A and B are shown apart, each in its own frame.
Chain A
Amino acid sequence: DQQVKQNSPSLSVQEGRISILNCDYTNSMFDYFLWYKKYPAEGPTFLISISSIKDKNEDGRFTVFLNKSAKHLSLHIVPSQPGDSAVYFCAASEVSNDYKLSFGAGTTVTVRA
């Protein structure tokens, strides 16, 4: 059963505008959340993370927001750049086995020039 869900398989955005990617989870034991970015023929690379004790974490153009009560997180990319075109995976882990990442199915982002 999918415990991490990314309901939008794709997103198209104009260069310079904001990209907003959404992720929902069902497991209330998740306490750490990550976003990975994946280019074709490459493995996923870590982008940004957030602990459940926070509701926001920012790193340059990337900001992750966490709403624990709604079991929802989002990734904001602003401004979007052509190099941001990739598949983005949301992932989560529990404190009891924090090495085990549960991934969503991914959202393919296309940034249009």
Chain B
Amino acid sequence: GAGVSQTPSNKVTEKGKYVELRCDPISGHTALYWYRQSLGQGPEFLIYFQGTGAADDSGLPNDRFFAVRPEGSVSTLKIQRTERGDSAVYLCASSLIAGRTYNEQFFGPGTRLTVL
């Protein structure tokens, strides 16, 4: 079956612009996660959705970052007034459920965002 897909694969934008990054999780997966991987670092947690609601957004760096998942499937990460420091690979992952059953998180290939 299809894995997690992310679009676009690459996004180049100018400082101050608005960008949207899309994630299509594996069908039937109720939990969805966004991570950010900066150069030379491991993925860093941003936000977790259980269904349509953001259950934990404690990893979002500031209020320029926002994510939605209106129908409990596709999610969009939105970044306003982009800054050069936002340049990174944004990874999306999904799992069947979240919780102590340690459901495996399946990752997409990521969107490489470059802010000039």
Interface set of A (CB-CB < 8 Å, partner B): 4, 6, 32, 36, 41-46, 49, 89, 91, 95, 97-106
- B77 CB to closest chain A CB (Å) equals 15
Which residues of the partner chain B approach A6 to less than 8 Å between Cβ atoms?
A: 42
- B21 shortest CB reach to chain A, Å: 14
Chain B positions near chain A (C-beta within 8 angstroms): 4, 31, 33, 35, 40-45, 48, 55-56, 59, 91, 93, 95, 98-100, 102, 104-110
A43-B91, A104-B42 known; A97 vs B102 contact (CB < 8 Å)? no
**Least Cβ distance of B107 to chain A in Å?**
3
**Contact A43 B31, CB 8 Å, known A49-B102, A99-B48, A103-B42:** no
Complex: chain B residue closest to A38, CB-CB: B107
Residues on B with beta carbons closer than 8 Å to the beta carbon of A104: 42
User: What are 28 A-B residue pairs whose CB atoms fall within 8 Å in the complex?
Assistant: A32-B102, A42-B109, A43-B91, A43-B93, A43-B106, A43-B109, A44-B43, A44-B107, A46-B106, A89-B42, A95-B100, A98-B98, A98-B99, A99-B31, A99-B33, A99-B55, A99-B95, A99-B98, A100-B48, A100-B56, A100-B59, A101-B35, A101-B43, A101-B105, A103-B42, A104-B42, A105-B42, A106-B42
**Beta-carbon contact of A103 and B44 below 8 Å:** yes
CB distance from B65 to the nearest CB of A (A): 16
| Inter-chain contact A45/B42, CB cutoff 8 Å | no
Task: Kindly list chain B residues whose C-beta atoms are within 8 Å of the C-beta of A32.
Answer: 102
Return the chain B residue nearest A102 by Cβ: B45
Known: A43-B91, A99-B56. A105 touches B99 (CB 8 A): no
Please pick, from A41, A43, A101, the residue contacting B4 in the complex, using a CB distance under 8 A: A43
Chain B nearest CB from A106 CB (Å) reads 6
The 5 closest A-B pairs by CB, nearest first: A43-B107, A103-B42, A99-B98, A46-B104, A103-B43
Contacts of B33 in A (CB 8 A): 99
B105 touches A46 (CB 8 A): yes
The chain B residue sitting closest to A40, CB to CB, is: B109
